[in-house]
Amino acid sequence: MKEYEQLSAFYEAIADTTQISAYHICLYIALIRMRGKVGWQNPITVFRTPVMQDARMGRKTFNKCMRDLIRLGYLKYEPSNNPASGSKVYFNKL
C-alpha cells in the first residue's frame, strides 16, 4: 500500500510539469521498489547498476534523470566515494 501512496503523491506532484518524462517515472518507480524492500527507510542505500537494470535504462539516462529529480526537489542524493558502500537516496516530502 505504501508503494501506491508514494507513487500517487509523485504523480500528483508531476501532474502540471513537462519536465518529467517516462524515464524519470521509471527511475522513481525503481527507487520506490527498492525503498519498499528495505522497510521504507529514508534514506535508502543504492548501487547504480541494480537501479539502472530495474528502471531499464543506461548510465547516461540514469545520470540525467537523477540530476533532474534532484533539481526539481523530489530526491536528495549523496554519492559515495566507496563503490562498496553505495550511495544514499533521500525521498523528499511531496
pLDDT tens by residue, 10-66:
888 888 888 999 999 999 999 999 999 999 999 999 999 999 999 999 999 999 999
Which residues, including other chains, have CB under 8 Å from residue 25's CB and lie 6 or more apart?
A: 10, 14
Q: What is the pLDDT of residue 87?
A: 94
Domain of 24, CATH number, reads 1.10.10
What pTM was estimated for this model as a whole? Answer: 0.90
Residue 71 is part of which domain span?
A: 2-91
Separation between Cα atoms, residue 24 and residue 7, nearest integer Å: 12
Q: Quickly state the pLDDT bin for 78 (edges 50, 70, 90).
A: very high
Which residues, including other chains, have CB under 8 Å from residue 2's CB and lie 6 or more apart?
A: 36, 40
Q: What is the pLDDT of residue 50?
A: 94
Number of domains in the chain: 1
Task: Kindly tell me the sign of the dihedral angle through the C-alpha atoms of 76, 33, 85, 41.
Answer: positive
Q: What is the pLDDT of residue 1?
A: 58
Separation between Cα atoms, residue 12 and residue 82, nearest integer Å: 35
